[in-house]
């Protein structure tokens, strides 16, 4: 085990150490607390789910681009599979949840993309298209990893609201944990040969999109809309 002053040997460990304070603030956000005790306003959760549909459509595109730049055919196949699972699994979950929070799945395209959603997805797409494979990997990784960690934490506590419990189950289960483990293994593999400059750039992307993860939940909690 590394001492507090010793640099972790694996890239994934170095990345996570960079965002420990961000993750603590995510767990402490009232949106997350409201999921557990069931007090989260259904309209807030509906805003979150609607924005997540918009986000996931661009996230699937980002996964496809990262896969196209991946170092091996197996890695490309993995990201292609994960991109397809966004449609098959996560958006299917949203189609179930949307009616329960008063939203019509057929009308979701008409819901405006909120400022934070637009900023986050724009950053993701710009990074995966314009950067290296490692840049893109670092940018997409927080959405995998933070959701798995949040899901694991909330699964241990459960929710008083069955709608929120279904959301927790989707991210706190073994299947999603196995998906994230695949990506972390790849992260550590490519991390073994990074130059200091390339690693610094990757870590900066990872921190930025981790901040966007907090901002995404916060924006939903505020039911963010465009100010003008």
Catalytic residues: 143, 213
Nearest to 16 by CA among 203, 218, 190, 217: 203
Residues 29/92, Cβ–Cβ less than 8 Å:
no
Residues 210/106, Cβ–Cβ less than 8 Å:
no
List Cβ neighbours of 67 (8 Å cut-off, separation of 6 or more). 75, 76, 77, 78, 79, 80, 83
What is the distance between the alpha carbons of residues 182 and 184, in angstroms, rounded to a whole number? 6
């Amino acid at each position: 085990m590394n001492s507090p002053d010793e640099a972790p040997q694996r890239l994934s460990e170095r990345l996570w150490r960079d965002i420990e304070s961000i993750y603590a603030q995510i767990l402490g956000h009232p949106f997350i607390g409201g999921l557990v005790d069931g007090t989260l306003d259904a309209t807030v959760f509906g805003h979150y789910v609607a924005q997540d549909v918009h986000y996931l459509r661009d996230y699937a595109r980002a996964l496809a681009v990262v896969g196209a730049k991946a170092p091996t055919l197996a890695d490309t196949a993995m990201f292609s599979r994960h991109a397809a699972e966004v449609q098959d699994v996560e958006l299917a979950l949203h189609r179930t949840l949307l009616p329960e929070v008063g939203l019509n799945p057929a009308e979701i395209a008409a819901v405006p993309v909120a400022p934070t959603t637009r900023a986050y997805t724009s950053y993701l797409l710009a990074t995966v298209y314009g950067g290296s494979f490692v840049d893109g990997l670092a940018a997409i990784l927080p959405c995998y990893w933070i959701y798995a960690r949040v899901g694991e934490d909330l699964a241990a506590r459960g929710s008083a609201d069955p709608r929120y419990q279904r959301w927790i189950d989707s991210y706190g289960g073994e299947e999603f944990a196995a998906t994230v483990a695949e990506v972390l293994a790849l992260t550590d593999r490519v991390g073994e040969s990074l130059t200091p400059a390339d690693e610094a750039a990757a870590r900066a992307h990872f921190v930025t999109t981790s901040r966007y993860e907090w901002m995404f939940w916060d924006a939903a909690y505020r039911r963010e809309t465009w100010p003008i």
